[in-house]
Amino acid sequence: MLTKIFGSAVLGVEATTITVEVNVALGVGYHLVGLPDNAIKESNYRIAAALQNNGYKIPGKRITINMAPADMRKEGSAYDLTLAIGILAASGQIKSDGIEEYIIMGELSLDGSLQSVKGALPIALQAKDEGFKGLILPEQNADEAAIVDGMEVYGVENIKQVIDHFEGKKLLEATEVDSKREFYRKLDFPEYDFSDVKGQESIKRCMEIAAAGGHNIILIGPPGSGKTMLAKRLPSILPPMTIHEALETTKIHSVTGRTENSGLMTDRPFRSPHHTISDVALVGGGTYPQPGEISLSHNGVLFLDELPEFKRSVLEVMRQPLEDREVTISRARFTVTYPSSFMLVASMNPSPGGYFNDPDAPVTSSPAEMQRYLGKISGPLLDRIDIHIEVTPVPFEKLSDDREGESSVEIRKRVTAARKRQAARFENSGNTHYNAQMNTRQIREYCALNDASGALLKNAMERLNLSARAYDRILKVARTIADLDNAPEISGNHISEAIQYRSLDREGWLG
Summary mean pLDDT of the chain: 88
Does residue 259 contact residue 253 with C-beta atoms inside 8 Å? yes
Q: What is the pLDDT of residue 509?
A: 47
Torsion, Cα of 369, 372, 377, 378 (10° steps): 140
pLDDT one-digit tens code per residue, 362-409: 555 666 776 777 777 887 888 889 999 988 887 766 666 667 778 999
- CA 357: distance to chain centroid? 34
- pLDDT given at position 189: 62
pLDDT value of position 79: 97
From the list 129, 218, 188, the residue with the least C-alpha distance to 409 is 188
Domain boundaries, the chain: 2-177, 194-505
User: pLDDT truncated to tens, each residue of the chain (511 aa)?
Assistant: 899 999 999 988 999 999 999 999 999 999 999 999 999 999 999 999 999 999 999 999 999 999 999 988 899 999 999 999 999 999 999 998 899 999 999 999 999 999 999 999 999 999 999 999 999 999 999 999 998 988 999 999 999 999 999 999 999 999 987 666 656 655 456 778 888 888 888 899 999 999 999 999 999 888 888 899 999 999 999 999 888 898 999 999 999 887 765 578 888 999 999 999 999 999 998 877 889 999 999 999 999 999 999 998 899 899 889 888 999 888 777 788 999 999 999 998 877 655 555 555 555 566 677 677 777 788 788 888 999 998 888 776 666 666 777 899 999 999 999 999 999 999 988 788 899 999 889 999 999 998 889 999 998 888 877 777 788 889 999 999 999 999 999 999 999 999 888 877 654 444 4
Using alpha carbons only, how large is the chain's radius of gyration in Å?
Answer: 28
CA–CA dist 280, 23 (Å, integer):
41
Contacts with 200 (C-beta within 8 Å, 6 or more apart), sequence order: 226, 230, 391, 394
Burial of 37 (0-12, 13-18, 19+ CB in 10 A): middle
pLDDT digits (tens, 9 = 90+) for 38-96: 999 999 999 999 999 999 999 999 999 999 999 888 999 999 999 999 999 999 999 98
> Cis omega before residue 69 (within 30°)?
yes
* Bridge partners, residue 25, by sequence: 62
pLDDT given for residue 238 in this prediction: 94
332: exposed, middle or buried (Cβ count in 10 Å: 0-12, 13-18, 19+): exposed
Residue 33 has phi, psi (to 5 degrees) of -125, 170
- In this structure, which CATH number among 3.30.230.10, 3.40.640.10, 1.20.1600.10, 3.40.50.1950 belongs to the domain 2-177? 3.30.230.10
- Distance between CA 426 and CA 207 in Å, rounded? 23
pLDDT given for residue 331 in this prediction = 77
Question: How far apart, in Å, are the Cα atoms of 7 and each of 18, 68, 132, 256?
Answer: 5, 10, 11, 18
| 194-505 fold | Rossmann fold (3.40.50)
Q: What are phi and psi of 230, to 5 degrees?
A: -70, -45
| SS3 state of residue 64 | strand
Beta pairing partners, 135 = 103, 153
